[in-house]
Amino acid sequence: MLKGICPLISPELLKILSEMGHGDEIVLADAHFPAHSVGQRVIRADGIGTVPLLEGILQLIPLDQYDRSNFVLMEVVPGDDVKPVIWEDYRAVLSAAEPDAELSFAERFAYYERAKQAYCVVATGETAQYANIILKKGVVR
């Protein structure tokens, strides 16, 4: 346990966040996401929801200020009758941590392709649908 670091951030995740450079991406994957078939590196965060994990991560890394798609969600598949209420929680966390950042969206299969290039996929225990997030790391100023 370290002072000032969210206890949900495991030593392995802290190492990954530290290793990532400007422009590297990390996926916070919900429990439905094919983390192991998509990810180059996968960290398990079973039982942990994406909202508190996101809060802990955004205390440690900035988002890429040069790329407006630095916080990416998977679009709802056309015809799918799901309203991802968790996105409002994401907006609140993002607004508190990175007031100038905005949510952006990618089509499902484009999202998977982008996730394949991510530095790491964190497989969370989040059960909400469409709760996946791609974060692009920026520079600490």
Q: Which one is catalytic: 15, 19, 22, 139? A: 22
Please name the residue that has the structure tokens 């484009």: 110
Task: Of 2-6, 11-15, 19-23, 82-86, give the lowest mean pLDDT range.
Answer: 2-6
What single DSSP character describes residue 59?
T
Distance CA 79, CA 99 (A): 32
Give the model's pLDDT for residue 2: 82
Question: For the segment 95-138, what is each residue's pLDDT rounded down to a tens digit?
Answer: 999 999 999 999 999 999 999 999 999 999 999 999 999 999 99
> Chain-wide mean pLDDT for the chain?
96
Range 57-72 average pLDDT: 96
CATH of domain 21-103+128-136: 3.40.1650.10
| Domains of the chain, residue spans | 21-103+128-136
**Is residue 32 flagged as an active site residue?**
no
Q: How many CB atoms lie within 10 A of CB 63?
A: 19
Q: Tell me the residue type at 123.
A: A
Give the model's pLDDT for residue 71: 98
The token pair that represents 39 in the structure block: 């990810």
